[in-house]
């Protein structure tokens, strides 16, 4: 295994560093400067025509570039003969894929838009903001219910579905969402944080900004202000 991960300190990037750390695959992380629009430069577009991180390049397959975090998670999971993150057998595989696709199609885009409207354009688009709040809250309730009497989201073990949801749920407070009344979700977050590979993945490509601001409203506000100044509205999606 020999990979390069083009990434930045955002949830979709952390999904992939967490998976790589969990699988113990050899990789180097290259930081892409989103605020400088490096992801829209020709060299990057040749890897991902959509101009967004993450991109994984597989050097053992003629430098094959893989983009879209869900596709990368599947690619990595399928390279692992032990099937640690994604069982090949039906029905387990179908269950994991269902939750993985729910994250990709719903929670990621909804919470990403919520983040942009609530934190970077506050008070400007009330109806849109309310829509993204209610949809994100609804999805958190779906997760809370799913985690009733179970440890992991999609199977009786940790899978790519947990990895896909975690970085977004991890930054819930940055997006104004609370897990205080969601005990199953809070316990799942702690289970995820108990995994050393998850902690390592969250600190790629550099120390996690949410971790250091957590629990300190002033620091969190400073982080939002910095993101706003850099016009990062579209960056955290």
Ligand X SMILES: N[C@@H](CCC(=O)N[C@@H](CS)C(=O)NCC(=O)O)C(=O)O
Q: Which stretch binds ligand X (CB under 6 A): 5-13, 121-129, 144-152, 189-197?
A: 5-13
Here's the x/- map for ligand X, 95-114, by CB under 6 A: it reads as -------------x------
Nearer to ligand X, 37 or 222 (CB): 37
Grouping H, G, I as helix, E, B as strand and the rest as coil, residue 58 is: strand
> Pick from 5, 10, 58, 192: which binds ligand X (CB under 6 A)?
10
Residues 22-81 close enough to bind ligand X by CB under 6 A:
34, 39, 51-54, 68-69
Burial tier of 80 (Cβ tally within 10 Å: 0-12, 13-18, 19+): middle
Residue 76 beta carbon to ligand X: minimum distance, rounded to whole angstroms = 13
Instruction: Name, in order, each residue with C-beta under 8 angstroms of 181's C-beta and a sequence gap of 6 or more.
Output: none
Cis peptide before 33 (omega within 30 of 0): no
Burial tier of 20 (Cβ tally within 10 Å: 0-12, 13-18, 19+): buried
Give how far the C-alpha of residue 31 lies from the chain's centroid of Cα atoms, to the nearest Å: 16
Residue 223 beta carbon to ligand X: minimum distance, rounded to whole angstroms = 15
Residues 156-185 close enough to bind ligand X by CB under 6 A:
none
What phi and psi values does residue 193 have, to the nearest 5 degrees? -70, -15
Nearer to ligand X, 103 or 159 (CB): 103
235 forms part of the interface with ligand X (CB under 6 A): yes
> Pick from 6, 12, 23, 27: which binds ligand X (CB under 6 A)?
12
Nearer to ligand X, 50 or 82 (CB): 50
Nearer to ligand X, 52 or 119 (CB): 52
Residue 181 beta carbon to ligand X: minimum distance, rounded to whole angstroms = 28
Nearer to ligand X, 12 or 136 (CB): 12
Residue 92 burial (CB count, 10 A): 17
Q: Report helix, strand and coil shares of the chain as percent, to nearest 5.
A: 55, 10, 35
**Total residues in contact with ligand X, by rule CB under 6 A:** 17
Alpha helices in 5-155 (DSSP H): 11-23, 42-45, 69-78, 92-102, 108-115, 126-146
Residue 166 beta carbon to ligand X: minimum distance, rounded to whole angstroms = 14
| Site residues for ligand X per CB under 6 A | 10-13, 34, 39, 51-54, 68-69, 108, 234-237
């Amino acid at each position: 295994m020999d990979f390069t991960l083009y990434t930045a300190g955002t949830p979709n990037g952390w999904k992939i560093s967490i998976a790589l750390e969990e699988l113990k695959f050899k990789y180097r992380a290259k930081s892409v400067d989103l605020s400088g629009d490096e992801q829209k430069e020709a060299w990057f577009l040749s890897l991902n025509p959509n101009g967004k991180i993450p991109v994984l390049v597989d050097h053992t397959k003629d430098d094959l570039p893989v983009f879209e975090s869900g596709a990368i998670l599947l690619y990595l999971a399928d390279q692992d003969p032990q099937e640690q993150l994604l069982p090949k057998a039906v029905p387990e595989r179908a269950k994991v894929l269902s939750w993985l696709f729910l994250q990709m199609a719903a929670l990621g885009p909804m919470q990403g838009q919520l983040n942009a409207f609530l934190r970077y354009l506050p008070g400007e688009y009330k109806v849109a903001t309310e829509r993204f709040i209610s949809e994100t809250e609804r999805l958190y309730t779906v997760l809370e219910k799913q985690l009733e009497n179970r440890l992991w989201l999609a199977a009786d073990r940790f899978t790519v579905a947990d990895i896909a949801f975690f970085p977004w749920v991890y930054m819930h407070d940055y997006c104004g969402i609370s897990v205080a009344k969601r005990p199953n979700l809070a316990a799942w977050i702690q289970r995820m944080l108990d995994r050393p590979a998850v902690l390592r993945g969250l600190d790629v490509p550099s120390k996690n900004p949410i971790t250091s601001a957590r629990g300190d409203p002033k620091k969190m506000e400073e982080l939002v202000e910095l993101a706003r100044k850099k016009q990062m509205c579209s960056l955290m999606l």
